[in-house]
Amino acid sequence: MVGEVVRVNRRAINAVAERKAVDTPLLKADIAYASFTEVSGPVRITGGFTHGTTTGKSRTGATVRVEIEPMPGETTQATFKVKGKFEVGSSPANMANFLLKNNFFEHMLALKISQFIGTIGEVNIVKKLMGASPRFHLYQEGATTATPLLNLNVVAGSVTHLQHSRTKNGLDIIAKVVNPSPPPPHFWAIFEIKTKAMHEKDVPPLAQYQGELAVKQREGIDYVIKTIEKALKANEKNPSGFIMDRDKIKEMRKLLFALNAQKINGDNRVLGFVIGQGIDKEYKAVKNSISSEGLQQITLWFGNKSLVKEKFGVDIMEHSQVVKNGSFN
């Protein structure tokens, strides 16, 4: 994937590669084909259009392939056949012109947002955590001015995730963050990312978003413990599901041990966070008066609120949907 934004001008038909297939004895058809590639942030989209005339009937089809790199070296992808009625002539130029300007991109916008919004949101946060001095606005009910920022110093090379290779179920982001006043030298940090598509012009100045947790995720620390246990067991039976090498398996076992010790003994070594994120059609976090650096608001998923205050100097809110089952101590 590329890191910069490169966009194809949808109205520039010259940017579209076109070709015509010759008449064949089998098809006896006049077929036009056009394709393009659009790369924007973490997303690469390729589209192919065909228009053919067979036995006097006109048929047009479109196929879309979307690729996203949630973690460096990993790619999530899917291919869609776009359905719709396209009334165009048999000329490849006319067909490309119509699809680029009209129906095709109406479908494309829906696909880009609805099918991959979760992964796009994770990519944004991964990049931020792997960059210099990541920080996130706190979610604070009733705030009327920009909320304070939680500053994190992420241990280099520690950012990863624990997700099934096919279903993508699991833990969005796992990292280690430096303890500003050790001991311990660092904390494990687990981030659950909740992303919502927004139009910046429609976002009220005081709007906030803490993120909507799935029912199971509301168990907080219990959910995370169960997820890691399940992943480790599944990896033993079928390594192609939760893909982990020996080093990652060792790290996940250490994390699991720390989580159980925290749940049983109150030995706080792991912090769980939820980040509620609003992104626009360019995949960037929207901004308003509350989140001047981008609507990526953080709450505590599990862990010790007083510890966050002591070590990081901010009063973080506990996520309102988490059940009181020992997640907060």
Mean pLDDT (whole number) for 148-155? 97
Lowest average pLDDT, out of 73-77, 171-175, 195-199, 233-237, goes to: 73-77
Q: What is the mean pLDDT of residues 113-140?
A: 86
**pLDDT digits over 240-286, tens only?**
999 999 999 999 999 999 999 999 999 999 999 999 999 887 778 99
pLDDT at 166: 80
What amino acid occupies position 136?
F
Position 158 pLDDT exceeds 50: yes
What does residue 277 show for φ and ψ, rounded to 5 degrees? Answer: -125, 135
| Omega prior to 184 cis, within 30 of 0 | yes
Bond prior to 185 in cis (omega within 30° of 0) = no
pLDDT digits (tens, 9 = 90+) for 196-252: 888 888 899 999 999 999 999 999 999 999 999 999 999 999 999 999 999 999 999
Closest CA to 129 of 193, 36, 212, 49: 193
CA distance 280 to 147: 21
Among the residue ranges 22-31, 118-127, 301-310, the one predicted with the least confidence is: 22-31
| Distance, CA of 90 to CA of 54 (rounded, Å) | 11
Centroid of chain to Cα 231: 20
- What would the pLDDT profile of 36-46 be if each residue is shown by its tens digit? 565 656 666 66
Computed over every residue of the chain, the mean pLDDT equals 78
> How high is the pLDDT of residue 56?
53
Query: In DSSP terms, which residues pair with 138 in a beta bridge?
Result: 298
Kindly indicate the confidence band of residue 160, based on its pLDDT and cuts at 50, 70 and 90.
very high
Residue 10 — pLDDT band, cuts 50, 70, 90?
Answer: very low
Q: How confident is the model at residue 326 (pLDDT cuts 50, 70, 90)?
A: confident
Q: How far apart are CA 77 and CA 209, in angstroms?
A: 28
What pLDDT score was predicted for residue 13? Answer: 31
Note the pLDDT of residue 293: 94
pLDDT at 79: 58
Amino acid of residue 28: K
Give the tens place of pLDDT for each residue, 17-40.
333 333 333 333 344 445 556 565
For residue 183, whether the previous peptide bond is cis, meaning omega lies within 30 degrees of 0, is: yes
Would the CA dihedral through 192, 196, 201, 203 be positive or negative?
Answer: negative
| Res 58: pLDDT | 54
